Chain A
Amino acid sequence: MKHLHTLGFLAFAAWLVAVPVMAGNEYELRLFMLFLIYGVIAVGLNVLVGLTGLVSLGQAGLFALGSYTGAILATRAGFDMISASLAAAVVAGLFGVLLAYPTVRVRGVYLAVVTIAFGIIVENVAIEWQSLTGGTTGITSIPAPNAFGWRLSGYAFYGVLAVTLFLATLATHNLKTSRFGRAMLAVSQSETAARALGIDATGVRTLAFVVAAVTAGLAGTFYAFLNAYISPDIFTFSDSVRFLLMVILGGAATTFGPVLGAYLLTYLPELLQQFALWQKFAYGALLLLVMFALPKGILGTLAGLVKRFRPTARAVSIVGAVPAEESLRQPDKALAAELVARGLTVRFGGLTALSNASVRVKGGEVHALIGPNGAGKSTFVNTISGFYRPAEGDCELDGVTLTGLKSHQIARVGLSRTFQNTELFGEMTVLENVIAGYQRRLTYSVVDAVLRTPRMRREEAEARRVAIGLLAFVGLEDYANEAARFLPFGLQRRLEIARALAAKPRLLLLDEPAAGLTTQEIDDLEAVIRRIASLGISVLLIEHHVDLIMAVADTVTVLDYGQVIASDTPSVVQDDPKVIEAYFGTSLHGAEGEKVA
């Protein structure tokens, strides 16, 4: 795939050079330049829609902002095209941040409606703010394209557009294959897991919105200069739909898909002219057809076919991998992390799920948390990992207060977790899932990512070596290139552990890791937990399976009705009458552990 992309970029560059030479007349070249502009929008929108999974139906609003900013600066303040476009990109980028803010609270269709509203507001402000925007008649007499005082010839302008699109495509491609792109994909596939791995979901979404806005802003100014005229009816809801369609048609999340989509939809109206009265109908029918025949877009579908007929090797070589023992070892076992939860109380409406629960996980121990269904185990886990807020009480890890921190901040303090219902990034490969776990240890910047600096390559290579080592640690190296969602359930559990370990936690929180596993798999799991503990990582184990607990736990804490009723070594807890009563409702002497499960 990597070579395919290099080839793709070479072909793309060759095409961009060839077109002006081959164009039959100025009209054809103009149309192609229009495509280049749409391409820039589509490539940026792809970061938002394809990678981050957020639907924006207000892209025309950002495009309009860029267009108007550029046109006003050029006509009123005498800016040249380059500085006007940069200013427009900044303005649009600021609005991108503003638009990203609602994602903190609303998602999905709600967000789509917010973006629609944004587009309509921008369109109407452009209509009403006549003194600035010229109202419905728009802005005319935008000067010819110029740069630093020089008037650009048609070819020079073409060059600016072609280079912009090429660089935008390359930059988003580099972004996609960096920690930022991975974070976007992670957030879109499982926000919960992403947050638990220390990924700041809001930050990631803001970045995606800014990328989409900046590209739309740039494109907007170029558009104003190409057309020499802009008016509000260029920036309507149906234009937003068209921009979205460019991404979907070409193939969301693919590198060249949006470019292809923009190309097709720029030339489509020319083709549809022959349908005369029926052209709008034909456009609708085509849109429908695309959604049915190519839901993954043209390039997405092609990539799927290539994969099917030329599958990549499933396994990955472990030569050069960093063994888990090396990458995970804590400096000194005596300094292993200690988790202290004091008097945690959590209420949902009138229901008290956790009542004054105090638990202490000593450094380096395997601590099991058990209790009947509804005892508050999951609530406890979700509270210390920051997904719920306690009404009272607090918890800390090695003296760092966790209460009040967001889950991704807690993850960064050194707490990793798995999930009762596995939360893998299904569309990513097994290896990518583990690298996503390594995410918070990567420190290179957006600039490093876009430019693929040596620092970025070095860190990525290290991440990959560590991830492969972790796959070997849990025995999944033979599945490395498989999509995670195709893994058998038992292996998914192991992958989640590997991913959680990749963050190099000081405390690992396992939420019912044995649920749904076969006896053999539970034995393997037991071994894995022991090895993890031996590396100096504290483990908090939430489990029903008593055999496993007896075998690995140093301490067992029992929860019932949200309260801690016992906390001691396994053998002591096993004989505690309160515990037996909690499980069986009556004091039944000599209850066997296995029955508890």
Chain B
Amino acid sequence: MTTFLQYTLSGLAIGGIYALVALGFHIMWSAAKAVNFAHGDTLMIGAVLAVIGIDVGLPLWLACLLAIVAGGVFGVLLERFAVRPFLGGATSIGWMLTTIAVGIMIESLATMQFGGFSRALPSPGVAQAVHIFGAGVYPQELLIPVVALIAMAGLKLMQKRTLIGRAMQAVAHDKRAAALVGIDVDRIVAFSFGLSALFGAAAGVLVAPVIQASATMGALIGLKGFAVAIIGGITSAPGVVIAGLAFGVMEKFVEGYISTAAREIIGFSVMILVLLAFPQGLFGKKEVMKV
């Protein structure tokens, strides 16, 4: 029972990371029908900048705040210079490759900065493990899925209550119609990329104390976050968050009861099977083909 709970809690912590990354993919996709393929590196930017901030002597809260803001700025710039020129092309190869290219460059910069090592981000959240019915977990880990849920709820609230949130939904629904009613579509898309990068960088800062900051920390998380977003249905915010948490828990149980080695094989096979059964993802909306 304790073991079962341990796997669930550890899985939720990992799943929370996937959920936050997947949420970023959801926001970008809704606005632009394009994503930052290297969104995992946004997470890395947040974590790495926070560590650098500490290195130069900033207090923890300020270093984290600056790192998150810098992440957001990065998202806006990325959209403007690497994604927007390729929107509306016949295939998605353009923005896929440009964002991958930016990811490679950033990873290389971070590698040079850290010399290939991973670095710790100090946080009171990992000072002492807490025990819940015998299962040990850091408070920071418990925080991650909670933040993912809050972020999702916040996003929903913003889409319902604020002007810009409603404009985002309008753009997601129909770009041309949104432009016709006077919404500046380009700005909404840029804002969406900024927002998702903000989420990504915040996720980085949040997970760095648990998984350490390093140049390569984002690569696999990014790919899995994307896979999770597709499984959950990239058009649905609750869908991707639920899928993210579930995917994390599933991984831990595979590790615990089958084998560590089988994790990737089972995880990605499940992803392909889900897509075959539900082409729009588990919670995604079906798009009616117009002829």
A-side residues, CB < 8 A to B, are 49, 53, 55, 57, 101-102, 105-106, 108-110, 112-114, 116-118, 120-121, 124-125, 127-128, 188-189, 192, 237, 241, 244-245, 248, 252, 277-278, 280-281, 283-285, 287-288, 291-292, 295, 348, 378, 382, 387, 419
CB pair B93–A49 under 8 Å, yes or no, is yes
A57–B226 Cα distance when bound, in Å, is 14
A288–B102 Cα distance when bound, in Å, is 7
Which of B96, B104, B262 lies at the interface centre, i.e. has the most chain A CB atoms within 10 A of its CB? B104
A302–B232 Cα distance when bound, in Å, is 43
Also in contact, A287 and B101, with CB within 8 A (given A105-B279, A121-B269, A382-B291): yes
Which residues does chain A contribute within 8 Å of B181, judged by CB atoms?
Answer: none
Within 8 A of A (CB), among B266-291: 268-269, 271-272, 275-276, 279, 288-289, 291
Query: A120-B268, A291-B98 provided; 17 other pairs, C-beta below 8 A?
Result: A55-B91, A105-B275, A109-B96, A112-B92, A117-B271, A120-B223, A121-B269, A192-B291, A248-B97, A281-B105, A283-B104, A284-B102, A285-B101, A287-B101, A291-B86, A295-B86, A295-B94
A116–B267 Cα distance when bound, in Å, is 13
Kindly identify which residue among A117, A281, A284, A292 contacts B272, using a CB–CB cutoff of 8 Å.
A117
CB pair B97–A245 under 8 Å, yes or no, is yes
Closest Cβ neighbor of B288 among chain A residues: A348
A118–B264 Cα distance when bound, in Å, is 11
CB pair B108–A248 under 8 Å, yes or no, is no
CB pair A284–B105 under 8 Å, yes or no, is yes
CB pair A280–B98 under 8 Å, yes or no, is no
Which of B82, B90, B100, B271 lies at the interface centre, i.e. has the most chain A CB atoms within 10 A of its CB? B100
CB pair A244–B90 under 8 Å, yes or no, is no
Closest Cβ neighbor of A119 among chain B residues: B268
A397–B92 Cα distance when bound, in Å, is 40
A128–B266 Cα distance when bound, in Å, is 12
Also in contact, A106 and B275, with CB within 8 A (given A124-B264, A284-B104, A288-B105): yes
CB pair A288–B279 under 8 Å, yes or no, is no
Q: Is the interface of A mostly helix, strand, loop or mixed?
A: helix
A501–B260 Cα distance when bound, in Å, is 60
Kindly provide the distance from the CB of A295 to the nearest chain B CB, expressed in whole angstroms: 6
Which residues does chain B contribute within 8 Å of A241, judged by CB atoms?
Answer: 97, 100
Closest Cβ neighbor of A249 among chain B residues: B97
CB pair A280–B265 under 8 Å, yes or no, is no
CB pair B112–A189 under 8 Å, yes or no, is no
A53–B276 Cα distance when bound, in Å, is 20
Kindly identify which residue among A112, A120, A127 contacts B261, using a CB–CB cutoff of 8 Å.
A127
Kindly provide the distance from the CB of A373 to the nearest chain B CB, expressed in whole angstroms: 15
CB pair A102–B104 under 8 Å, yes or no, is no
A192–B279 Cα distance when bound, in Å, is 19
A484–B276 Cα distance when bound, in Å, is 35
Kindly provide the distance from the CB of B85 to the nearest chain A CB, expressed in whole angstroms: 7
CB pair A117–B92 under 8 Å, yes or no, is no
Q: Is B5 an interface residue (CB 8 A)?
A: no
Kindly provide the distance from the CB of B229 to the nearest chain A CB, expressed in whole angstroms: 9
Kindly provide the distance from the CB of A361 to the nearest chain B CB, expressed in whole angstroms: 20
CB pair A102–B93 under 8 Å, yes or no, is no
Which residues does chain B contribute within 8 Å of A53, judged by CB atoms?
Answer: 90-91
Closest Cβ neighbor of A285 among chain B residues: B105
Closest Cβ neighbor of A379 among chain B residues: B291
CB pair B268–A121 under 8 Å, yes or no, is yes
Also in contact, A55 and B227, with CB within 8 A (given A106-B279, A121-B269): no
Q: Is the interface of B mostly helix, strand, loop or mixed?
A: helix
Q: Is B107 an interface residue (CB 8 A)?
A: yes
Closest Cβ neighbor of B264 among chain A residues: A124
Also in contact, A287 and B100, with CB within 8 A (given A117-B268, A419-B291): yes
Kindly identify which residue among A109, A248, A283, A284 contacts B92, using a CB–CB cutoff of 8 Å.
A109
Which residues does chain B contribute within 8 Å of A113, judged by CB atoms?
Answer: 226-227, 230, 271, 275
Kindly provide the distance from the CB of A10 to the nearest chain B CB, expressed in whole angstroms: 31
A110–B286 Cα distance when bound, in Å, is 14
A378–B268 Cα distance when bound, in Å, is 40
Within 8 A of A (CB), among B29-87: 35, 82, 85-86
A291–B98 Cα distance when bound, in Å, is 7
Kindly provide the distance from the CB of A346 to the nearest chain B CB, expressed in whole angstroms: 12
Also in contact, A117 and B227, with CB within 8 A (given A244-B93, A291-B98): yes
Which residues does chain B contribute within 8 Å of A189, judged by CB atoms?
Answer: 90
CB pair B85–A280 under 8 Å, yes or no, is no
A selection of 29 A-B contacts at a CB cut-off of 8 Å is A55-B91, A55-B96, A102-B275, A105-B276, A106-B279, A108-B91, A109-B96, A109-B230, A110-B275, A113-B226, A116-B223, A118-B268, A118-B272, A121-B264, A128-B265, A188-B91, A278-B108, A280-B107, A284-B103, A284-B105, A287-B98, A287-B104, A288-B98, A288-B101, A291-B86, A291-B97, A291-B101, A378-B291, A419-B291
A301–B96 Cα distance when bound, in Å, is 20
Closest Cβ neighbor of B265 among chain A residues: A124
A56–B193 Cα distance when bound, in Å, is 25
Which residues does chain A contribute within 8 Å of B104, judged by CB atoms?
Answer: 280-281, 283-284, 287
Kindly provide the distance from the CB of A199 to the nearest chain B CB, expressed in whole angstroms: 15
Which residues does chain B contribute within 8 Å of A101, judged by CB atoms?
Answer: 276
Which residues does chain A contribute within 8 Å of B276, judged by CB atoms?
Answer: 101-102, 105
A124–B267 Cα distance when bound, in Å, is 11
CB pair A114–B105 under 8 Å, yes or no, is no
Which residues does chain A contribute within 8 Å of B268, judged by CB atoms?
Answer: 117-118, 120-121
Q: Is B129 an interface residue (CB 8 A)?
A: no
Kindly provide the distance from the CB of A184 to the nearest chain B CB, expressed in whole angstroms: 13
Which residues does chain A contribute within 8 Å of B86, judged by CB atoms?
Answer: 291, 295
A469–B82 Cα distance when bound, in Å, is 46
Closest Cβ neighbor of B219 among chain A residues: A237
Kindly identify which residue among A49, A108, A120 contacts B264, using a CB–CB cutoff of 8 Å.
A120
Which residues does chain B contribute within 8 Å of A288, judged by CB atoms?
Answer: 82, 98, 101-102, 105
Which residues does chain A contribute within 8 Å of B85, judged by CB atoms?
Answer: 292
A90–B21 Cα distance when bound, in Å, is 39
A106–B291 Cα distance when bound, in Å, is 18
A348–B93 Cα distance when bound, in Å, is 33
Which residues does chain A contribute within 8 Å of B177, judged by CB atoms?
Answer: none
Which residues does chain A contribute within 8 Å of B269, judged by CB atoms?
Answer: 117, 121
Which residues does chain B contribute within 8 Å of A237, judged by CB atoms?
Answer: 223
A146–B275 Cα distance when bound, in Å, is 43
